[in-house]
A and B are shown apart, each in its own frame.
Chain A
């Protein structure tokens, strides 16, 4: 019964993804594409940040690596010759389709995460936050200076822009599915017990470092995939695309929905996207009959920031805390059965 429901849901989602662009405006389609990409990115953060209690501020570093790796791999040979003339031989003659480039980008990020995480995942609290933020800054500096791979401070461009709605919907569903499998499995239990009490987890024989490392590197894989999708959506980006502003907006989505809940992740992304688009269109000025408010560019960020603070004060664990939509249904069902 449950499986049929899920399958039916997926099928209708796929149908929507195909048909929707024919009905709604291009602007809405773009928003939906960004929502899906952000679900992958925020999902990548929730694993480490929400479920293991290691609050990483460095995820955007992996997003950057993913975008650049996939960008370099999928750039056409002609563009490579003109934009990246100093690329090493083994890369200069590769022109890859988006899908394999995205997977490789994810794997590269996972590998880097293991190397970086081995020392960093030993830290906890704000120390790990500040250290991972340091990682992000280091990635930024390296990208700006690795001229022959990234064009340095110049815009990296020519990446095929082939992100259609069905593609990103597929990736978002896959990401949530993989995360759900991982979180609601014995490994997921281990993750949460590491979050709740490190010493108790160690006492019952859980490999704390290994568990955190798993979450961190799987998160990095998804971040790399999301970075690749983002890069293929934009077509052009630079090191500054993947820096503090992106980090702040991803964290806002993560925290608003509730970082220990996949439903929270999806809701957070949708709510923050809808809200910031609404505010962005409102701040351009409002004319209602005799009342007219002049444009106040920047007001949307101020309101969003204040809202973030209010959420921190009144609902610090997000809208969903650690509950899932499915568990609400289940509880109701149990109640009606008894």
Chain B
């Protein structure tokens, strides 16, 4: 394997990982854009959808239908979370929203342990999803899951971009993100917009969870937490509240991680998470609006 092949292989790895981060980060950013809310429970939407898919396919439901149903379950969990937990505290200081979502994570993860036990379960992917493509005598390899996650990430993100810039609902969401009071004043149904935002964000999380599970082969109650933390970094680095920023941040983060592990000295790779979060702090300090300069925060 020469260095060009090595680099190409690592680029493929980075795109595949970045796609997953991007899809989780987009939902975080959407919700943040409208509600100015740091949503810790976002990762759990990955979990609920994946469990639904596994249960349905165990019951004999064809895999593609189970996937769609799983995404619907994720979206539904998001809507319920908004209706039951977040709406009553809307308008409170942002820390209250953050803490409520933290408590909700705690509830959802322990409920999942209570119902499904803490043991991981295998995620039954059909064989065509695990097919391996090899080039240059096997020096460069990728799987159909890699392709599916990258393409579905790019397609769905493009779709989302079109939705927020070309539909009335999407434009309304952007208006609400800009100034909720003014949006309400001109007659936009804020509650409806927020519910739609949560449904879309959670649906994306569900899809990401599915791809995550297909790639890792297992699901477990706390499967959403670690990607959620990474998605925070991606969303903030890209510009919290900006959809394009979240996508950009996701891919940058994927690249950074692969760069550290693949190209850095071996001693550096266990410090990967520390480097990622140090980057987050640097961004918060020197470019709090992220790369896209969204939502400028007042700083001392």
- Known contacts A122-B285, A248-B102, A309-B104; decide if A127 and B88 are in contact (CB<8 Å): no
Whether B94 contacts A125 by the Cβ 8 Å rule is yes
Least Cβ–Cβ distance between A70 and chain B, in angstroms: 23
Residue A138 interfacial (CB < 8 Å): yes
Q: Please state if B96 and A306 are interface contacts (CB–CB under 8 Å).
A: no
In chain A, positions 226-282 with a C-beta closer than 8 Å to chain B are 244, 248, 251-252, 255
Q: Contacts of B36 on A, CB cut-off 8 Å?
A: 126
Partner of A141, one of B85, B225, B232, B273: B273
* Bound Cα distance A299, B112 (Å): 11
Given the known A-B contacts A123-B299, A129-B38, A299-B114, are A313 and B281 also in contact in the complex, defined by CB atoms under 8 Å?
Answer: no
Question: Which of B95, B284, B288 gathers the greatest number of chain A CB atoms within 10 Å?
Answer: B95
Question: What is the number of contacts between chain A and chain B, taking CB atoms within 8 Å?
Answer: 123
Beta-carbon contact of B281 and A119 below 8 Å: yes
The answer to whether A313 and B114 touch across the interface, beta carbons within 8 angstroms, is no
| Residues of chain B within 8 A of A123, CB atoms compared | 284-285, 288, 297, 299
Of chain A, the residue at the smallest CB distance from B277 is A134
The binding surface of chain A is classed by DSSP as helix
Q: Is the CB of B107 within 8 A of A296?
A: no
Q: What is the minimal beta-carbon distance from A15 to any residue of chain B, in angstroms?
A: 38
By secondary structure, the B interface counts as: helix
B191 to chain A, nearest CB (A): 17
CA distance A90 to B111 in the complex (A): 49
Give complex CA distance A127, B300 in Å. Answer: 13
A138: min CB distance to chain B, Å: 5
The answer to whether B96 touches A312 (Cβ under 8 A) is yes
- For A, the interface residue count at a CB cutoff of 8 angstroms equals 43
Residues of A within 8 A of B298 (CB): 124, 198
- Asked if A298 is an interface residue, CB under 8 A from chain B, the answer is yes
Is B10's beta carbon under 8 Å from chain A? no
**B106 A308 Cβ-Cβ under 8 A:** yes
Task: Determine whether the beta carbon of B96 is less than 8 Å from that of A316.
Answer: yes
Complex: how many Å from CA A338 to CA B274?
61
B98: interface (CB < 8 Å):
yes
Q: Contacts A145-B270, A301-B110, A305-B106 given: A127-B284 contact, CB under 8 Å?
A: yes
Could you list some 25 contacts between A and B, CB below 8 A? A55-B95, A119-B285, A120-B285, A123-B297, A124-B299, A125-B297, A126-B98, A135-B277, A137-B229, A138-B273, A141-B273, A142-B271, A145-B271, A198-B298, A244-B225, A252-B103, A304-B106, A305-B107, A306-B107, A308-B106, A309-B104, A312-B92, A312-B103, A313-B89, A316-B89
Q: Which residues of B are interface residues toward A (Cβ below 8 A)?
A: 36, 38, 85, 88-89, 92-96, 98-100, 102-104, 106-107, 110-111, 113-114, 225, 229, 232-233, 236, 270-271, 273-274, 277-278, 280-281, 284-285, 288, 297-300
